[in-house]
């Protein structure tokens, strides 16, 4: 495989944004995701290859390490930053159709809940694994989710909540999404949520970590 | 305030209070409402909570100001009311505590990540400074910075409270047990790392809050004690992870479950023991009984 893409996947895995970034210390002074993605495009590497063989393997490795508690939120955020930097170069190719994302994921923190760290982490991981992500923000009610599903009928919906008081809103939102758009898949996550809760409220999947969401989407979409 | 530390230095284990957030919900707080605004519009209900913990036998009570920083209040359009809301929070708890018990002014995280450049260090410092000053103005004896996961945010909060008030500053972080059996915050900080940094920043008392039930707190206290032989340790344990049934969430650990771990936590080195999410005056009452027998 292209040497550049192997390097790019390492930049994503270890959160190397660009040459100027001091993080991670062991990659100081080296090219980052920014420079390598640009160079790969200049050298004619197809954008689809950059996504599939550069960004995605790197995101997958950091996602697995996060799940295994080998890294924590800061490392994942740095990886996500590196990934977003690379994505800026790829965006025009998605728009032109030269590269295709695997599917669409709609995510939001549910009504009454303003916490966004977990929601953002999942959104970034899913995007880095080749999906188009529509982030509806925090404090999102059924109507906004439904409107977004109407515009993207194939999309899977992700609901996030941090609080024991707002997790209960997931039940109503899940039910109303499924009433309005039957067949829509809903995956849930957040500190107080678990599998038992997921089945009680009629959601389709619960993931305790972002990589689980990616794997769920891969099993349903690709 | 050093009166509180004196008590600890005498070897007494002190009892703190239990949950506020889950208690407010029982009194009708809706998920979209700002809990801290109740200090103004529902002061009598907030007072009831404070008073119930005093009656349960707590030596100290917190204030209804966990989300009273500029950034959290801004979500509700109340960012211009930081002083008013936090001062009222401390006044309510002061009134309930009377002269003999201590008031800990609660300060929670901002929800903004330094490393994602959502906020600067200077902005964090200003937010914690303003909140701490208001809590002191309302009569808080100490500032308790809690539920922290990012060590840098915790350190800035400790410094801001320490440098701008006459209060003692306490700081507790929230740890999870990871796959290898060690304890880390969401941001990867261990109890040992916390202890070194916060003691140096000037925290008089450090510890852990929330988490996943009281049993895990034993290991956390042991690790802190190993890292620092003398610093007083505060534990505010939750009543486990919530269960959901028919639209209601309940917490699994009963007052007796909690009380059953108190002796071991105290023996591990904890100096102040209280509750977090899901604990009630009933829990604190039981903790008091055990502490009395130590």
Residue B113 has pLDDT above 60, yes or no: yes
C-alpha span between B242 and A130 (Å, rounded): 34
- The alpha carbon of residue A170 and the mean position of all alpha carbons in its chain are separated, in whole angstroms, by 20
Listed range (B138-152, B231-245, B265-279) with the worst mean pLDDT: B231-245
Beta bridge mates, A206: A188
Between A112, A163, A192, which is nearest B241 by CB?
A192
Domain boundaries, chain A: 3-96, 104-220
Is the CB of residue A139 less than 8 Å away from at least one CB of chain B? yes
Q: What angle do CA A126, A127, A132 make, to 5 degrees?
A: 110
**CB-based contact A72 B32, cutoff 8 Å:** no
pLDDT of residue B22: 86
Determine contact, residues B285/B255, Cβ cutoff 8 Å: yes
Query: What ipTM goes with this model?
Result: 0.90
Does the distance separating the beta carbons of B241 and A194 come in below 8 Å? yes
- pLDDT tens-digit readout, B118-142: 999 999 999 999 999 999 999 999 9
Query: Measured between alpha carbons, how far is A48 from B148 in angstroms, rounded to an integer?
Result: 41
With vertex at residue A155, the alpha carbon angle to CA A153 and CA A156, rounded to the nearest 5 degrees, is 130
CB contact under 8 A, B32 and A139: yes
Residues 6+ apart with CB under 8 A from B33: none
* Percent helix, percent strand, percent coil in chain B, to nearest 5: 50, 15, 35
Domains detected in chain B: 2-207 (3.20.20.330)
- The SS3 of residue B90 is helix
Which among B31, B241, B277 has the least Cβ separation from residue A113? Answer: B31
**Mind listing the pLDDT tens digit for each residue in A151-164?**
999 999 999 999 88
Average pLDDT rounded to a whole number, residues A23-29: 93
**Chain A interface test: which of B242, B251, B276, B279 (most A C-beta within 10 Å):** B242
Mutate to test the interface with B, among A23, A112, A115, A117 (most CBs of B within 10 A): A117
For residue A222, the model assigns a pLDDT of: 64
Q: What is the CATH superfamily name and number for domain A104-220? A: Cobalamin-binding domain (3.40.50.280)
What local confidence, expressed as pLDDT, does residue A32 receive? 98
Nearest by CB: B113 against A117, A163, A201: A117
The verdict on B181 touching A (C-beta cutoff 8 Å) is no
CB A36 within 8 A of CB A8: yes
DSSP, res A204: S
- A78 contacts in chain B (CB < 8 Å): 115
**What integer pLDDT is reported at residue B37 of this predicted model?**
98
Residue B1 has pLDDT above 60, yes or no: no
pTM (whole model) above 0.90: yes
Q: How many CB atoms lie within 10 A of CB A213?
A: 28
A3-96 adopts what CATH topology? 1.10.1240
Q: CA-to-CA distance for B134 and B139, rounded, in angstroms?
A: 9
User: What is d(CA A152, CA A189) in angstroms, rounded to the nearest whole number?
Assistant: 21
Beta-carbon separation of A166 and B31 below 8 A: yes
Please spell the DSSP secondary structure of B117-145, one letter per residue: TSS-HHHHHHHHHHHHHHHHHTT-SEEEE
Bridging pattern class, strands B102-107 and B60-62: parallel
With vertex at residue B270, the alpha carbon angle to CA B175 and CA A71, rounded to the nearest 5 degrees, is 15
How does pLDDT run across B189-205, given as a tens digit for each residue?
A: 999 999 999 999 999 99
pLDDT tier for residue A1 given thresholds of 50, 70 and 90? low
Q: Chain B contact for A169, CB < 8 A? A: yes
Compute the nearest-CA separation of B102 from chain A (Å): 28
Chain A residues with CB under 8 Å of B185 CB are 72
Specify the higher pLDDT residue, B25 or B127: B127
Place of tokens 């599917």: A103
Check the CA dihedral A167-B51-B67-B204 and report its sign: negative
Chain B positions touching A111 (Cβ under 8 A) are 31-32
What is the tens place of the pLDDT at every residue in A71-122? Answer: 999 999 999 999 999 999 999 999 998 889 999 999 999 999 999 999 999 9
> Three-state SS for B208?
strand
């Amino acid at each position: 495989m292209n040497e550049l893409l192997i390097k790019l996947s390492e930049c994503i895995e270890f959160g190397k944004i660009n040459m100027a970034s001091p993080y991670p210390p062991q990659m100081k002074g080296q090219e980052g995701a920014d420079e390598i993605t640009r160079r790969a495009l200049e050298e004619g590497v197809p954008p689809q290859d950059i996504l599939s063989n550069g960004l995605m393997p790197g995101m997958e490795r950091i996602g697995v390490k996060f799940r295994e508690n080998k890294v924590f939120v800061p490392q994942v955020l740095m990886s996500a930053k590196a990934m977003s930097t690379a994505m800026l170069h790829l965006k025009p190719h998605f728009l032109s159709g030269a590269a295709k994302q695997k599917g669409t994921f709609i995510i939001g923190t549910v009504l009454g809940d303003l916490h966004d760290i977990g929601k953002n982490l999942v959104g970034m991981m899913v995007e880095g694994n080749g999906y188009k992500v529509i982030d509806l923000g925090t404090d999102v009610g059924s109507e906004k989710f439904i409107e977004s599903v109407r515009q993207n009928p194939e999309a899977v919906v992700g609901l996030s909540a941090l609080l024991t008081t707002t997790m209960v809103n997931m039940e109503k939102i899940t039910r109303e999404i499924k009433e309005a758009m039957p067949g829509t898949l809903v995956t849930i996550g957040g500190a107080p949520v678990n599998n038992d809760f997921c089945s009680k409220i009629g959601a389709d999947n619960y993931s305790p970590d972002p990589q689980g969401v990616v794997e769920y989407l891969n099993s349903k979409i690709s | 305030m050093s009166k509180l530390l004196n008590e600890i230095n005498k070897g007494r284990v002190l009892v703190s209070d239990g949950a506020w957030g889950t208690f407010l919900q029982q009194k009708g707080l809706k998920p979209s409402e700002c809990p801290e605004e109740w200090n103004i519009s529902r002061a009598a209900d907030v007072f009831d909570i404070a008073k119930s913990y005093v009656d349960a036998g707590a030596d100290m009570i917190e204030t209804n100001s966990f989300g009273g920083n500029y950034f959290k209040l801004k979500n509700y359009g109340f960012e211009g009311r930081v002083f008013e809301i936090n001062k009222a929070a401390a006044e309510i708890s002061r009134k309930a505590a009377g002269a003999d018990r201590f008031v800990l002014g609660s300060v929670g995280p901002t929800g903004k990540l330094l490393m994602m450049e959502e906020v600067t260090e200077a902005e964090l410092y200003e937010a914690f400074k303003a909140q701490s000053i208001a809590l002191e103005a309302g009569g808080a004896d100490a500032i308790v910075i809690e539920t922290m996961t990012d060590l840098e945010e915790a350190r800035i909060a400790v410094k801001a409270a320490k440098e701008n008030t006459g209060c003692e500053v306490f700081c507790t972080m929230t740890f999870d047990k990871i796959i290898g059996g060690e304890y880390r915050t969401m941001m990867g900080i261990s109890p040992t790392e916390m202890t070194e940094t916060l003691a140096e920043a000037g925290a008089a008392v450090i510890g852990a809050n929330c988490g996943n039930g009281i049993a895990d707190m034993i290991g956390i206290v042991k690790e802190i004690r190993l890292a620092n032989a003398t610093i007083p340790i505060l534990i505010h344990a939750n009543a486990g992870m919530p269960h959901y049934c028919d639209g209601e969430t309940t917490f699994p650990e009963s007052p007796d479950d909690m009380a059953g771990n108190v002796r071991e936590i105290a023996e591990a080195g904890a100096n102040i023991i209280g509750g977090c999410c899901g604990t009630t005056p009933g829990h604190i009452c039981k903790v008091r009984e055990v502490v009395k027998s130590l």
